Structure 1
């Protein structure tokens, strides 16, 4: 029996080193705060849920290839800290700054979506919006490229050599049926970004599927029913990776 050995890539080792340094720095800050060695004016803004969101966002920016969750967390945490500063230092109270929250959040989400679209495969995209009437959309492309904003729909894909793609959902989502697909050789990736929405995938029972989804105030699960009688092809793999923020989804199959 052959034994598989794994080696970390230089990029992975670099990210692990950065994460270690960040954790040491955060631990040192908490220690100094517990010893009352950090001025109250600084600890007040740093050691609360807003500051923690910024810290987590900084970790994601430093250690994840996908920068979207880090950007969003730092933007939201930074906004509320800015609101506190304006309130306590300049007497501009929360009811004034809250007028900016949703516009700023929408701008940040829009910039994240645009950055993802610029990196998408050169294939046609399907966009679901609030006024979409689509219930089920057929797709014979080798890629999936979906954006669902304030709406959604189901999609059935029938490619013989499916090669992954991108799914972005913002307060929307859908179910994407890959059960009649064939998977191309090697590892094919689906990059998901789910913000207050959902994305479900139906896959054939004989596919190798691996999840690398970061969930923040949400979850993403593998709900497949596995059977010892079903043989999988080790030369093909579907990798579902990305970020879930205030949302969720699952991967399932039909046995």
Structure 2
């Protein structure tokens, strides 16, 4: 589990680093304008996520995303390119889907990974998969949760906030994050959603809110979602 998290964090960090270098190069005029305009097209998001998948050795997911991203990039890379011409190769998608089905038969459904820890900081990265984590820390200070084409469930029922409270940064891109918290926690939500959403589904009532500590939830959901629940 540790190596999986490390590779996921490395891949995500590498993509963020490359994105920063490209944006800086464009702003400083180091990258030719016509090249920069091509790189900044939306299909490059799929290409970038495919890079993360390859780093995580999820070859099939990476290949699918790279194929789709490349398909939509071709008109911007090749002069007089005809979408009709490449459409001849659409059966390749069926081949890839077939391989995915056979792979799924062999591995069955990708299982959720259940684990728990008592760390004071949460570090959760999920890419093309699912994680269920139970946090037992009695001095929770915050953390980072990243979900890309996957789902993360963080159970904080048995956790306790530090005296200074805690801040959790979450990022959901074509993925989802579910946070389960005690009813009495004082929570402030500062999540920005772009074609996504973050929903507060906590059950009202309980023993009363503890205003001496606060959990701040920050982050972004992009074509993804998040929810906050209590039991």
TM range, smaller chain:
0.5 to 0.7
Residue in 2 that maps onto 1:178 = 156
Counterpart check, 1:239 vs 2:228:
no
| 1:208 aligned residue (165, 186, 192) | 186
| 1:91 aligned residue (49, 62, 80) | 80
CA-to-aligned-CA distance 1:78-131 (integer Å, 9 cap, x gap): 8699766556xx323457999xxxxxxxxxxxxxxxxxxxxxxxxxxxxxxxx9
Residue in 2 that maps onto 1:154 = 132
Spell out the pairing of 1:122-161 with structure 2 (5 A cutoff).
133-161=111-139
Counterpart check, 1:199 vs 2:199:
no
More strand by share: 2
Call closer, same or farther: CA 1:76–1:86 in 2, change over 3 Å: closer
CA-to-aligned-CA distance 1:46-67 (integer Å, 9 cap, x gap): xxxxxxxxxxxx9xxxxxxxxx
Q: How far is 1:239 from its partner?
A: 0.9
Spell out the pairing of 1:49-64 with structure 2 (5 A cutoff).
none
CA distance in 2, matches of 1:132, 1:85: 36
Q: How far is 1:187 from its partner?
A: 3.8
Q: TM-score, normalised by structure 2?
A: 0.55
Residue in 2 that maps onto 1:230 = 207
Q: How far is 1:214 from its partner?
A: 1.1
- Structure 2: gaps spanning 5 or more residues: 1-22, 24-38, 45-68, 88-108
- Structure 1: gaps spanning 5 or more residues: 1-57, 59-73, 99-130
CA RMSD between the two structures: 3.2
CA-to-aligned-CA distance 1:29-75 (integer Å, 9 cap, x gap): xxxxxxxxxxxxxxxxxxxxxxxxxxxxx9xxxxxxxxxxxxxxx94
SS of corresponding position for 1:186: coil
Residue in 1 that maps onto 2:197 = 219
Contact 1:86 1:93 in 2 (8 A): no
Residue in 1 that maps onto 2:143 = 165
Q: How far is 1:196 from its partner?
A: 0.9
Spell out the pairing of 1:5-154 with structure 2 (5 A cutoff).
75-77=40-42, 90-94=79-83, 133-154=111-132
CA-to-aligned-CA distance 1:137-189 (integer Å, 9 cap, x gap): 11111111011111012111111011110011111112110011110122411
Q: TM-score, normalised by structure 1?
A: 0.51
CA distance in 2, matches of 1:240, 1:97: 45
Contact 2:140 2:165 in 1 (8 A): no
Q: How many residues align?
A: 149
Residue in 1 that maps onto 2:167 = 189
Residue in 2 that maps onto 1:67 = none
